[in-house]
Structure 1
């Protein structure tokens, strides 16, 4: 051990004991009391006995106290092992995750941790295990999420152009109406519900594989659903087919749900039974077609997902009538929760116009 080191002269034993009484850290208080003994002229062996350590540790405390004051006697977090990836390698990892794998080159259609581990070794000769790669990805803000479906021929420019031009389309409808007519913005879609039902994710103990009933029969019906997110209301019918006649029935149902004196602008996709000239459109309704292959613009798609996940999936329908009854029950549950329609159906580009 080297020669004795003097304590800094801007403290004394009384001050350190006062700080020890106020400290919320037992280890810091013990170290302060040990150094207070030295300030009062006590031997360093006595200080070591008060601190419950050896003389070398007391010397380390003195160095830390001289450098940083009382804060130097607080417990610090161990720095841990230095990361094997540098900033450039992390940026390359982020770029690979964002761009996704190329099947013909990487041999996979989605990145797994083992694939990224192998890529890092091939690219940078850095050997990591999958746990470390997963920790790096979480530190970079990535988690494993279920991808939402996107049409392979979707035109993203057309989708953005529709959002920006929607106010102008709405203005055209407004000019054709009597001045001061309130306008309600609705969204409409259909969902097929049948015996060949979906199975959703569920909580289960790690390492197990939960099961759910899966029917192979093919009876089905269609829910025709429309929502007005601004007012939290909707109109729906459960019908056997999708055609012009059933669509006319649904438009009539929507017209009944529109507030008296108001006019509904309904956004829907370009299905044949939506756009046909044979469709009988009520006088208080105007239809605006969404761009082709852009279901993301229609919040009713999210309504279907919510209803399936919570009320319709993981069950066996015993008959056609049973399907109809349970679809009606699910839709009525949704109508009884206007806040749900408001939150799921809200689209910033279509609100406040």
Structure 2
């Protein structure tokens, strides 16, 4: 073992090091700081090391790191691991390949598997990777296996982009005169059918198995009308037997009662026929703003339905209509009574009001 290495960095005293150790949330780093404080106080190196859960050689290494980098040097560093066999440019091309998706006629598949991408990389670059290595590269690039959602063939992506990009300007031109000067709340609204033809979800199970779960095959259901304001973390919901103009009007009244006093709400909703029926009248403190056609991606309440089905309503057998209503109300209240969850699921960066 080499001779003891002196602490040459003296910008912090032993007392200041102890204070830093008390503030440190990482217990391992805190022990290293305390060991250095003991050394500065004149403690025996061996005792200083053992009292902080290390041997003398390890303490010697941390003294070197502290002398060179200060407190930052006492943090553990993740090993860099082997260098990727794909260059930065090749990784970018892999990302473009994933984004574009496969051509069924050219590639013979309708979705990319790791083995397909492995073969494509070998053909393009002559680089042979194991399919697990392909998965690691994809994870590094930020890709995960996700469930897809249906996209209507008539969806206008340009209109959707313009709606979100120009949202604040649209608000300015949409607000009625009596709303000018009032605080503006952004609300999102939608409805979902909840019933005995329920959904399944993913569960933990052993690899290679296919777990079973109950699924009702009967045909009774109710409609959950839901709306949320992410900036205030509040929500308003109704469970109705049908989805029509009358139910929509009742839901608008429920939302109106949730809007803050002296504020005005802009309710973003889709273009379902009964939303704009002649009998539907928005309360005075609500302005209706319709989404572009076939644009569920712009309505975060769609994510609320996905969340509730996955966590509260999937793998459920409903006894009858009353049971559907009771469990749907329970699921909605689980969401609506948690402001942090409301904000987390329904917040959108583009849905803001210019000051």
2:256 & 2:129 partners in 1: Cα distance? 62
Structure 1 SS opposite 2:194: strand
Which residue of the partner structure matches residue 23 of structure 1? 57
Deviations 1:295-320 (A, max 9, x none): 11111111111111111111111111
2:104 & 2:318 partners in 1: Cα distance? 40
The structure whose Rg is larger is 1
Which residue of the partner structure matches residue 35 of structure 1? none
Q: Is the 8 A contact 1:235 1:253 kept in 2?
A: yes
Q: Is the 8 A contact 2:268 2:290 kept in 1?
A: yes
Tell me the matched-pair count.
Answer: 289
TM-score by length of 2: 0.73
Structure 2 SS opposite 1:189: strand
Indicate how the Cα distance of structure 1 residues 184 and 78 shifts in structure 2: closer, same or farther if over 3 A, else same: closer
Superposition pairs of residues 32-51 of structure 1, within 5 angstroms? none
Give the drift of 1:85.
4.8
Indicate how the Cα distance of structure 1 residues 131 and 283 shifts in structure 2: closer, same or farther if over 3 A, else same: closer
Q: Is the 8 A contact 2:184 2:353 kept in 1?
A: no
Give the drift of 1:331.
1.3
Give the drift of 1:167.
1.7
Which residue of the partner structure matches residue 322 of structure 1? 323
Which residue of the partner structure matches residue 311 of structure 1? 312
Which residue of the partner structure matches residue 37 of structure 1? none
Structure 2 SS opposite 1:348: coil
Give the drift of 1:338.
1.6
Indicate how the Cα distance of structure 1 residues 318 and 174 shifts in structure 2: closer, same or farther if over 3 A, else same: same
Gaps of at least 5 residues in structure 1 are: 1-14, 29-76
Q: Is the 8 A contact 1:230 1:351 kept in 2?
A: no
1:228 aligns with 2:229: yes
* Range that drifts further, 109-118 or 130-139: 130-139
Structure 2 SS opposite 1:120: helix
Deviations 1:268-314 (A, max 9, x none): 00110112222132222211111111111111111111111111111
Q: Is the 8 A contact 1:295 1:301 kept in 2?
A: yes
Superposition pairs of residues 107-256 of structure 1, within 5 angstroms? 107-174=108-175, 176-177=177-178, 179-256=180-257
Superposition pairs of residues 82-121 of structure 1, within 5 angstroms? 85=86, 89-121=90-122
1:90 & 1:259 partners in 2: Cα distance? 50
Deviations 1:146-167 (A, max 9, x none): 3344333322221121123222
Deviations 1:35-83 (A, max 9, x none): xxxxxxxxxxxxxxxxxxxxxxxxxxxxxxxxxxxxxxxxxx9986x86
Structural RMSD (CA): 2.8
